[in-house]
Amino acid sequence: MRIDIISIFPEYFAPLDVSLIGKARERGILDISLHQLRDWTHDVHRTVDDSPYGGGPGMVMKPEPWGEAIDAVTAAGAGEPRLVVPTPSGRPFTQELAMEYAAEPWLAFACGRYEGIDARVIDEYRGRMRVDEVGIGDYVLAGGEVAVLVMVEAVGRLLPGVLGNELSATDDSFAPGTMRNLLEGPVYTKPPEWRGRRVPEILLSGHHGKIARWRRDEALRRTLSNRPELAAGLDDESLDKRDREVLSERGADA
């Protein structure tokens, strides 16, 4: 997969040299290029922002450097990328969208700072390629860079050959399938007792059926406790009698 990232702070992306994503790049599974937006300015100050029309606080990113940058980056390749514009006003980034992106051959990220990018830039490229405005949660970051790090990691780990264990990606809390909309329960490793705390005996029992049932109980309890709106949205069809019992247990706060 090819990924282009345009930003006024390409240094923000140093973490992409490390760990899982760094290794995927070394192996040629991921081809990530960073671009300095200011390289497409023409004034001595390399200006990328200006005051908003209509007034208001902050600054808006000017359309001309963005137009030149996106034209240049997208000209250097076959076809067009899917253009992702990180913004707190975007659609939510979810595991489902990560999986959709993982199936794309080419993604381009346009990182805004300040109050955002002049809206005509998005209108311009919507006529030419798929453009998504995407946010990563209900809080406001100083710019799109950290959101792009989040998205690239979530997408990159789904690419074939990136995870050592190909099963790990499908067993995640949000992956569609059996675990869809259920959080993962607690996990344990050796020693069997640490500071007087025992690992739940069921996990040492070797009863695979009982272990699977216990894990599902814990997943349901954790979902109910940490994400009640997810628990409420669980489809009745996917719940058995025991699931319903666990979900109706009174919590300490009930």
Tokens of 224: 């109910």
Question: Least distance from C-beta 56 to ligand 6GU, angstroms?
Answer: 17
Residue of 141, 159, 203, 247 interacting with ligand 6GU (CB under 6 A): 141
Please pick, from the candidates 7, 41, 74, 87, the single residue that binds ligand 6GU as defined by CB under 6 A. 87
Q: Which of 55, 139, 206, 250 binds ligand 6GU (CB under 6 A)?
A: 139
Q: Which of 58, 77, 137, 176 binds ligand 6GU (CB under 6 A)?
A: 137
**Alpha-carbon span 197 to 220, nearest angstrom:** 23
Among the listed ranges 8-16, 135-143, 159-167, 237-245, the one in contact with ligand 6GU (CB under 6 A) is: 135-143
Nearer Cβ to ligand 6GU (105/137)? 137
- Residue among 142 and 167 whose Cβ is closer to ligand 6GU: 142
CA dist., res. 252 & res. 254, Å (int): 6
Helices (H), the chain: 19-26, 63-75, 95-102, 119-126, 145-156, 208-226, 228-232, 241-248
Q: Give residues with Cβ within 8 angstroms of 88, minimum separation 6.
A: 135, 138, 139, 140, 141
User: Rule CB under 6 A: which residues touch ligand 6GU?
Assistant: 86-88, 135-137, 139-141, 143-144, 147
